[in-house]
Chains A and B, each alone.
Chain A
Amino acid sequence: MSRLSAAAPSSATPVEAAAFGGNSSPFLLMPITLFFLLLGFAVLRSPSLVTSAGIGSAIIVATPLILATYALMAVVIAGRGTVDLSVGPLIGFINVTLIQLHGLGVLDNPFAVIGYALAVGALYQFIFALIVIYVRVQPIIVSLSGYLALSGINLVILPRPGGVAPDWMASWGLGTTIFSPVLLILVLASIAWLLFTRTAFYTHLRLMGSDERAAYTSGVPIFVVRMGAHLISGCFAGLASITFTALISSGDPSQGTTYTLIAVTALVLGGASLAGGRGGVFGCFLGAINLYLITFGLATFSFGAVQSFVTNLAYGTILVVSLLLTLVIPFIQRHIRNFSPLLYFVALSVVALGVILHATYDYGSAAPAAQAMAGRLAPIDPALLYVAPLEVAVPDAD
């Protein structure tokens, strides 16, 4: 016993670097690098991003996407190539039913609304999981069917955008300050997942996603674990729908559908493995934020009518390039055994902070420069940000 305790210090790495294999997670390398590149670019283009209103509006616009990406992440980790294409229409479905029920005076209480959204999301994923587990249909097919069915149902429930969100939600979507209930939801959801990663259930989930046969033969209850992953995904989708409703303050049958493709993009950009077993909130958060920064950065250029096309082009290009760059990861792994994403993040933060300070600091003395700076400091015309699919619907005139 004494020999053991001497041999195993309580630090996280009881075995020295001579041991086989690295414990690094180099897949976060790409999203982190991309994040700071895009942040620097966006801040230099328009320093208004780092004002309280700029960050507030970024949070309001990006949160539904971040949460939708979380919803995808929870099931993609479970393996079998479970990429839930129906996440967008599901968000839309919860949105339109919420608005219609609110219009009928049924749903008003914040707790009832949030409870309703979570319950519908979880119920949908429960059915999804039952089909995947017991009928053994490929998840991608089930999710595609869900995508098509829900897209249609949404239009039946609410043929055109309209309706009003509950009164207490109206102020959520303004995004004038950093701190808002939407941020609270995002933070709570992220913390909930981080706490979840400490549980045995999460370990089972990752093991199953990485090799389902190994997990089964080792006695992991794979059906229960898969079901759990879907329920968690449904809850994230419910939260995404709440923040989406807050963002547009009304109901929209088709807007939610656009989240599917962009959330999958964010998922991949965030370093998750579509084959299963790998993915996390930090990567997904960065993936979604990166997409927002691309939209924001391009909005400063005023491409006019082709704005959304250019944005989509940029999404695609950056996704492909970042996937190509992951090919160098094995080389990096060979040289850097213990890559610490946190350390890398902090190091780049310092650099980014310098860029932000440079961009926002009023150098004052030089008048022409100050004038130019003042012009650039002016907030971006919000209309420029209204580009699909991260677009913010302009509230109805009435």
Chain B
Amino acid sequence: MSVPAIETDTTFQSRDTIVVRNVKKHFGPTRALDGASFSARAGEIHAIVGGNGCGKSTMAKVVSGVLPVDSGSVSILGEAPSTPAESRALGISTVYQEVLVADESTVLDNIFMGADALFSKTFSQDHKVRRAAELMQELAGEPVNPFALVGTLPLGLKQWITIARALMSNPKILILDESSAALDFDSTERLFAKMRELRDRGTTILIVTHRIAELIRISDRATVLRDGRDVGVLEKGDITEKNLLALMTGEDQSHRHHAHDAPQPQDNRPVLSAQAIATQTGGKVFDFELRRGEIVGVAGLDGQGQDMFVRVLAGVAPPVSGALQVIDRKGEPQSVHGLRDAVNAHIAYVSGDRKREGIFASLSIFENMVMPLYREKRQGGILGLIDWASLGAIFKREAENLMIKFGQRGDRITSLSGGNQQKVLIGRGFAMRPDVIVLNDPARGIDVGAKTELYRHLRNFANEGKSVVYMSSELEEFLGFATRVIVFRDGAPFDAFDGRQLDPKKVLEAMFGQTDRSGLKAPYGPTPSRSGATRTAVTSTVVSEGVRVRVAVPDHLKPLAKPDFVKVHVAATPVPSAPKASAGGRVIRIVEFDAQGRVRGEEAR
């Protein structure tokens, strides 16, 4: 084989090959890296790990020389490469998260991409063919024709090609950014074997991943990032789920927010339900129900199907199997097939991907907001003239509600900041007067002030009895905001959490698949039991005192604790201690008391 002489000295064990000091990198208002440092040695597999948006992928790009840093220092083998070509010359190979292959070229050319000098070839053709065939056989576990066009191959093999390309140059430093994403179990095993082999030869391997189980098995050291900073380095023996999650979540998070403020549904009537639905090919089948007046948070690691789920709910994408039903304003169930039905059923969709799924960059702020109302505001019969005056009123109302800062309403939307653009899009959603609004990571790239206003607005919306589905990649967003949070994993709900007792740490653990999934069956699960939440809250504290029934009303039910509401539930609830006769015509007294047992009020019926 043509592998160069193996480095046999043992001194490499202590040599730092990658030293990153206090690196900062901003993308607009987003601080991807905010003073992160770490170092990796020769002959080790070093993992960079953290939750969504902690900056781990940015770190991989910085080390591989694709992204220049704003400040701080990066030293790789004593140099600071600034282009991929320089990195390559230094002996750095990177496998990126995206599967970067040239579809129109052969497997051979793709594997040796960048290996040749500008005009001269580094290896003979025979040699290349032999090594490519051999390496692909070893990695993919099956023969691959080196002359096959890459465009004709399945995704898994394309991923192997990018890995083979990185290995082919015998790198001193190998960076794998979520490289096992498209690989199945057996393939991952082969990749690990290859990684260990390289490590034993003195290669520094940097892996960026969120698959904790894999990371624990393969890595020698792990640097944990949180909010763009490094928060700890774990040595081999200390790399456990517990330690990693403790570092990833931090301990100071849960105290800042008031989780019990989360809005609660007014009743248990569903507004949207999905039975035996699958949103991803090959994904599990599950049920989901959305009630009036609640805000459902949807979370999950990148690419676990949560994104597809909200798109299906909004009718933007069709479900793989199963169907969606909406209970319309008359209380009739209507099935939803596609976007048209969803719009007719008053479901609005707001995407966080403003550029691709939101703004019309060449149109005005006004048009961007009222656009979906054109059809509704037609007049003059066949002429289809648009009633601009009423649209103007709607625009004015939404712009004031959302406090959008703009110059003239005829200005192009691109003259606004990202946060204000997002507000216009949310205004577009509200302008349609929906019953359900589905938001797909709307807070991406907007500042804290705009976020707070967005939450306030959505809470008001939910308090009117409307429902919100809110997908976010930042867990902190759900605190004190979401009624319940559903965590997705492998295309289906993995666990669910009650918004009143939301612990970001638990949610993060669920995202990594480390919880017992008890939330799925709980009243706040994907399909809440019909009278679930309120019944448990009330019956547990119903105390019969003859003609007096003491009912504890939790704080979150306060605005809803109208007498008839309570009465109905007392009568309908088969609690042994509750006197059956009390509901049957005799006068009862309802005494309301708080959590501490103090009597708050008494009412005769």
Contacts and interface: CB of A to CB of B under 8 A. Distances in A.
12 contacts: A14-B129, A14-B130, A14-B146, A15-B143, A22-B152, A200-B120, A203-B109, A204-B118, A210-B104, A214-B110, A220-B114, A278-B104
Contact of B121 (A16, A20, A200, A206): A200
A203 B115 CA distance: 11
B557 interface: no
A18 B148 CA distance: 12
A330 to B, nearest CB: 9
B152 A333 contact: yes
A382 B103 CA distance: 46
Counting chain B CB atoms within 10 Å of each CB, the highest count among A209, A210, A276 belongs to: A210
B188 interface: no
What is the predominant secondary structure among interface residues of chain B facing chain A? loop
A21 B126 CA distance: 20
A275 to B, nearest CB: 8
A217 B100 contact: yes
A278 B149 CA distance: 11
Given A218-B88, A221-B85, A206 B104 contact: yes
Interface stretch (A4-12, A153-161, A178-186, A344-352): A4-12
A277 B106 CA distance: 11
A349 B437 CA distance: 65
Interface string A289-318: 000000000000000000000000000000
A210 B102 contact: yes
A23 B118 contact: no
Interface in B281-325: none
Nearest to B113: A218
Interface in A20-54: 20-23
Contact of B105 (A199, A216, A277): A277
A305 B101 CA distance: 52
A322 interface: no
Interface of A: 1, 4, 7-8, 10, 12-16, 18-23, 199-201, 203-204, 206-211, 213-221, 224-225, 273, 276-278, 333
A73 B531 CA distance: 69
A184 B16 CA distance: 61
Given A1-B1, A19-B148, A206-B102, A219 B84 contact: yes
Shortest Cβ-Cβ A-B pairs, 6 listed: A21-B148, A277-B104, A210-B102, A218-B114, A214-B100, A219-B88
Contacts of B149: 21-23
A214 B134 contact: no
B143 A18 contact: yes
B154 A20 contact: yes
Given A19-B145, A211-B102, A216 B84 contact: yes
Given A200-B117, A221-B118, A20 B105 contact: no
Task: Report the interface size class on chain B.
Answer: 35 or more
B66 A16 contact: no
Contacts of A333: 152
A23 B106 contact: yes
A217 B118 contact: no
Given A204-B118, A214-B110, 9 more contacts: A7-B130, A13-B147, A15-B145, A18-B143, A23-B149, A207-B109, A214-B101, A218-B114, A219-B89
B172 to A, nearest CB: 15
A267 B1 CA distance: 43
A217 B147 contact: no
A200 B122 CA distance: 9
A137 B414 CA distance: 21
A173 B327 CA distance: 80
Contacts of A209: 102, 104
B144 interface: yes
B7 interface: no
B102 A215 contact: yes
A333 B116 CA distance: 30
B587 interface: no
B145 A200 contact: no
A221 B117 CA distance: 9
A20 B104 CA distance: 16
Contacts of B85: 219-221
A198 B64 CA distance: 31
Contacts of A215: 102, 113-114
